[in-house]
C-alpha cells in the first residue's frame, strides 16, 4: 500500500477538504502516515489568501526534499488554492521540485493523477485544476474522526468577487449540497458521538439548493437528534434576511454567535472592495441582530490599508469597532493577491509602516473590547460543552466553550468531554473565561 502524508494550510474549508482527500485515497488503497520519512506521496493542501502563505509552502517543499534527498521516488503534490492560483508557475518553476497539482474540485481524480505521475517524467502536464460548477463531494464522507465539533461543508465556491480576494478564482462558482445530503451527514456524525455541527461555506448564508434557503437548512439540521449545538461560518452581511435572523435568535440549538465580516468601516473603501453594503447598512444589520437577540456574540474580519484608504477613512473603521464592540476580530493588513481585481485596478499604495500602525491600533482596541465583554460574564451561570479533558497548561483542568464560542477553563471533575455542564463564570481575560461547575446536564 502506498503511504500518503498530508499537511494542511489555511482555512477550515481546507481542513474539511483534507478529510475528503483522506477518504478518497483511503478507499483507493492508500494508507495515511504521520511522517514524510516513510511517505511515498506528500500532499500539501495549500492556502493562497496572503503572500506569506505561499512563502511557507515553498520553504516546506524545499525542506521535505532536503530531508529526503536520497529518495528520488518521493512524489510531492500541491493541493488547494495555490494549485489553482499558481498552476503555471508551480509546475514550470525548476527551483520548485514538485510532481503534480490538483485543485479543490479535482480530488476525486487524485488516485488516477498519482498513478499517471508515477509513470510520467514530464511534470508539466501533471495537473488537474478544473473548476467545477457541480462538484460538492456530496457522495464522499470526509474521514472526520474523534471530536466534539464536526464541520460540514454545505456549499462551495463564491460569486461575490470581493476585489481583494482570490477565492472566486481558486474555488469557482457557488454550488450547494441538497438539505437531505447535509442532514444525512449530520446524522452520521451524531452516531459517531459529535455533539456540535459547524456548517461551512465560503459564503455560507448564500446557500441555495433548488430554492431551499440557508434558514431552512439550519432548521432541518437542528432536528437531528444527538446534535445539540449548531454554528456556521463564514457568512456575508448581504445575505441575512430577517427569517434567517429570526431562526438564529429563536432556535435553541443554533448558537447565539455570528461572524459578521466588516472588512472596512468607510463606504467608499467598501465600494472599492465590492462588498455590496455601506457602513450604515452594516450598522443597521448589527442593530437588527441586537434588537432580535441583545446578547448575540459578534466577531468580524477587518483589512487595514486597502489601496487609497486615507487616515480619515481608517478612522471610520475605528468608529464602527467602537460602536459594535465585537467579542473578537481577525485583523489583517491588505496583501496584494495575483488574479484579483484589486491587483489589476488599484495600486497597493498604503505604506507598510502605516498598515502596521493601523493593525496595532485595531488589535489594541479589540483586546479591550474582548476583555470588557468577558468581564461582563463574571457571575453568570452558563451552559458549557466540554471539548477537552485536560488543558495545554494543566491536566487538573478541562476546557469547553460557551454558546458564544468562548473558551471556558474549568477544574477537572466527575464530567468529561462531550458532556454539557452549567458553570458559574468566576474570572476573565481578553481571550479566556474561567469558572466552576454547578451542575452536570443529562443531555
Ligand atoms: S465573500 Fe468575498 S472575501 Fe469571502 S470568499 Fe467570497 S470573494 Fe472572498
Q: Which CATH superfamily is domain 381-440 in?
A: Nucleic acid-binding proteins (2.40.50.140)
> Ligand 1 center to residue 29 CA distance, Å?
36
CA 171 to chain CA centroid, nearest Å = 14
The pLDDT tens digits for 270-310 are 999 999 999 999 999 999 999 999 999 999 999 999 999 99
Is the pLDDT reported for residue 206 higher than 80?
A: yes
pLDDT, residue 87, reads 80
DSSP at 334: -
Closest-CA residue to 44 (of 90, 112, 92): 90
CATH 3.30.750.210 domain extents, the chain: 144-255
Cα Rg of the chain, angstroms: 23
pLDDT at 438: 97
Selected from 3.30.750.210, 3.20.20.70, 3.40.50.2300, 3.40.50.2020, the CATH number assigned to the domain covering 144-255 reads: 3.30.750.210
Closest ligand 1 atom to residue 274 Cα is 2
Bridge partners, residue 297, by sequence: 257
- What are the pLDDT digits (tens) for 390-422? 998 999 999 999 999 999 999 999 999 999 999
Question: How much of the chain exceeds pLDDT 70, in percent?
Answer: 99
Assess whether pLDDT exceeds 60 at residue 121.
no
39 alpha carbon – ligand 1 mean position (Å):
35
Q: What is the pLDDT of residue 338?
A: 85
Which of these, 209, 121, 131, 137, lies nearest to 166 by C-alpha position?
131
Position 119 scores a pLDDT of 67
Kindly give the distance from the C-alpha atom of residue 290 to the centroid of ligand 1, in angstroms, as a whole number: 25
Q: Where in the chain is the domain with CATH 3.40.50.12160?
A: 3-128
The mean per-residue pLDDT over the stretch 245-260 comes to 96
**Residue 254 CB contacts under 8 Å (≥ 6 apart), including other chains:** 218, 222, 230, 231, 247, 248
All CATH 2.40.50.140 domain ranges in the chain, comma separated: 381-440
pLDDT of residue 120: 65
- Give the residues surrounding ligand 1 with Cβ less than 6 Å away: 158, 160-162, 165, 167-168, 202-203, 236
Q: Which set of grid coordinates corresponds to residue 260?
A: 459578521
Task: Tell me the per-residue pLDDT of 132-151, one tens digit each, with 9 for 90 and over.
Answer: 999 999 999 888 777 899 99
Per the prediction, the chain carries an average pLDDT of: 94
- Confidence label for 111 from pLDDT (cuts 50, 70 and 90): very high
Residue 70 has what pLDDT? Answer: 83
Residue 324: per-residue pLDDT: 98
Q: Is the pTM of this model over 0.85?
A: yes
pLDDT at 143: 84
pLDDT at 238 over 70: yes
Alpha-carbon gap, residue 273 to 6, rounded angstroms: 34
| DSSP per residue, 225-288 | TT--EEEEE---GGG--HHHHHHHHH-TTB-SEEE---B-S-HHHHHHTT-S--HHHHHHHHHH
Q: Give 199's pLDDT tier (boundaries 50, 70, 90).
A: very high
CA of 354 to the centre of ligand 1 (A): 25
What pLDDT score does 399 carry?
Answer: 96
CATH of domain 3-128: 3.40.50.12160
Counting atoms of ligand 1 from 1, which one is nearest the CA of 263?
3
Residue 301 Cα: closest atom of ligand 1: 3
> How far apart, in whole angstroms, are the C-alpha atoms of residue 382 and residue 425?
7
Residues 6+ apart with CB under 8 A from 382: 402, 403, 408, 422, 423, 425, 435
Ligand 1 atom closest to Cα of 166? Answer: 8
Distance 61 CA to ligand 1 centre (A): 28
Amino acid at each position: 500500500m502506498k503511504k500518503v502524508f498530508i499537511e494542511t494550510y489555511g482555512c477550515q474549508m481546507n481542513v474539511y477538504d483534507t478529510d475528503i482527500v483522506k477518504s478518497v485515497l483511503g478507499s483507493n488503497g492508500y494508507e495515511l502516515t504521520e511522517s514524510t520519512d516513510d511517505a511515498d506521496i506528500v500532499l500539501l493542501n495549500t492556502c493562497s489568501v496572503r503572500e506569506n502563505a505561499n512563502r511557507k509552502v515553498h520553504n516546506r517543499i524545499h525542506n521535505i526534499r532536503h530531508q529526503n534527498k536520497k529518495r528520488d521516488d518521493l512524489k510531492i503534490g500541491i493541493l488547494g488554492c495555490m494549485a489553482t492560483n499558481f498552476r503555471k508557475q508551480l509546475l514550470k518553476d525548476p527551483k520548485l521540485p514538485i510532481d503534480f497539482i490538483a485543485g479543490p474540485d479535482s480530488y476525486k481524480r487524485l488516485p488516477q493523477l498519482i498513478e499517471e505521475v508515477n509513470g510520467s517524467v514530464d511534470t508539466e502536464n501533471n495537473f488537474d485544476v478544473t473548476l467545477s460548477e457541480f462538484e460538492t463531494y456530496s457522495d464522499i464522507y470526509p474521514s472526520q474522526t474523534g471530536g466534539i465539533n464536526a464541520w460540514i461543508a454545505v456549499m462551495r465556491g463564491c460569486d461575490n468577487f470581493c476585489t481583494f480576494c482570490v477565492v472566486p478564482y481558486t474555488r469557482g462558482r457557488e454550488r450547494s449540497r441538497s438539505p437531505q445530503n447535509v442532514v444525512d451527514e449530520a446524522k452520521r456524525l451524531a452516531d459517531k458521538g459529535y455533539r456540535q455541527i459547524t456548517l461551512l461555506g465560503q459564503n455560507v448564508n448564500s446557500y441555495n439548493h433548488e430554492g431551499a434557503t440557508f434558514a431552512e437548512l439550519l432548521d432541518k439540521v437542528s432536528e437531528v437528534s444527538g446534535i445539540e449545538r449548531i454554528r456556521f461560518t463564514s457568512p456575508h452581511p448581504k445575505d441575512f434576511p430577517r427569517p434567517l435572523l429570526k431562526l438564529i435568535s429563536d432556535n435553541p440549538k443554533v448558537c447565539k454567535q455570528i461572524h459578521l465580516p466588516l472588512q472596512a468601516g468607510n463606504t467608499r473603501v467598501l465600494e472599492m472592495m465590492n462588498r455590496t453594503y455601506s457602513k450604515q447598512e452594516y450598522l443597521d444589520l448589527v442593530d437588527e441582530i441586537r434588537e432580535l437577540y441583545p446578547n448575540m456574540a459578534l466577531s468580524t474580519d477587518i483589512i487595514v490599508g486597502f489601496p487609497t484608504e486615507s487616515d480619515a477613512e481608517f478612522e471610520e473603521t475605528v468608529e464602527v469597532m467602537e460602536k459594535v464592540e465585537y467579542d473578537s476580530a481577525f485583523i489583517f493588513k491588505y496583501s496584494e493577491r495575483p488574479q484579483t481585481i484589486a491587483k489589476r485596478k488599484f495600486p497597493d499604495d498604503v505604506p507598510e509602516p502605516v498598515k502596521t500602525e493601523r493593525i496595532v491600533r485595531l488589535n489594541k482596541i479589540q483586546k479591550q473590547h474582548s476583555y470588557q465583554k468577558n468581564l461582563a460574564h463574571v457571575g453568570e451561570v452558563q451552559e458549557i460543552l466540554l471539548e477537552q479533558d485536560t488543558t495545554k497548561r494543566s491536566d487538573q483542568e478541562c476546557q469547553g466553550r460557551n454558546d458564544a464560542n468562548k473558551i471556558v477553563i474549568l477544574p477537572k471533575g466527575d464530567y468529561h468531554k462531550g458532556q454539557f455542564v452549567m458553570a458559574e463564570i468566576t474570572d476573565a481575560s481578553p481571550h479566556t473565561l474561567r469558572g466552576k461547575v454547578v451542575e452536570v446536564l443529562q443531555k
